[in-house]
Amino acid sequence: MFSLLFGVLLGCTPNEEPSEVPQETAEEVSPIDWEDCSYRIGEHICNLSLPDSNMEDFALYDHYGKPIVIQLSAEWCAPCHRAGMFAEETMEQWVAEDLLWITILLENDEGERPNALDLAEWVEEMGITNSVVLAGSRNLIDLTGEHGFPLTSWPTFAIITDELLVYHGFSGWSEEYLDQKIAEMLFYGE
């Protein structure tokens, strides 16, 4: 009896393919929700879009969620070279925290805006495989920190939180001091 009823009901169903119900796609919300930016400590850093060593555009805001060290350098600067030699080692030391080291060359050996060859030479000399080297210019400098980095000597460093806040900045080179400031940022809060 049950099989007869089942057969009758089955025979009365329309012979249509079930239509696919459109699934709602969640719109991805950008974590970048601020309008104001600067290069001052405690404020969100402004986005940078600069060519990397492969001459492809690199956008800083694409790396939201990673702590970042930015080294501002000139190719003619000996202390900049010493600091640059630690880029890969520093990233390796902080690999669990996904630290990104970015070197922005502002001048080449002749004091001019760096080109692809200058970046390639820097990458080779520093043994860079994971860190990023970008071509910048003196247009990225603003002593007030409002529209550019407050660079007063070479190299200058900016330490950026994973939320793209400028945590600390300093000029000169000290591996110990840099490690101390990275650890402060990562483990003792912003």
pLDDT at 10: 46
Q: Which residues pair with 156 in a beta bridge?
A: 72, 171
pLDDT of residue 109: 97
Contacts 24+ apart (CB under 8 A), 45-49: 45/158, 45/160, 45/164, 45/165, 45/166, 46/147, 48/104, 48/134, 48/136, 48/140
For residue 157, the SS3 value is strand
Which stretches of 38-115 are DSSP H helices? 78-84, 87-93
pLDDT of residue 22: 54
User: Which CATH topology does 37-187 take?
Assistant: Glutaredoxin (3.40.30)
- Mean predicted confidence (pLDDT) in 85-96: 96
pLDDT tens for residues 24-70? Answer: 555 677 888 899 999 999 999 999 999 999 999 999 999 999 999 99
d(C-alpha 58, C-alpha 52), whole Å: 6
The Cα–Cα gap between 94 and 48 comes to: 23
Task: Tell whether the model's pLDDT for residue 23 goes beyond 80.
Answer: no
Q: Which residue has the higher pLDDT, 24 or 101?
A: 101
> What is the arithmetic mean of pLDDT over 164-179?
97
Summarize the confidence of residues 136-149 as an average pLDDT. Answer: 97
Give mean pLDDT, residues 87-91.
Answer: 96
Cα–Cα distance list, 182 to 9, 74, 132, 177 (Å): 70, 23, 18, 9
- Residue among 91, 173, 163, 84 at smallest CA distance from 123: 84
Cα–Cα dist 11/120, whole Å = 73
How confident is the model at residue 29, as a pLDDT?
77
Contact 156, 170 (CB under 8 A): yes
Please give the model's pTM, rounded to 2 decimal places. Answer: 0.84
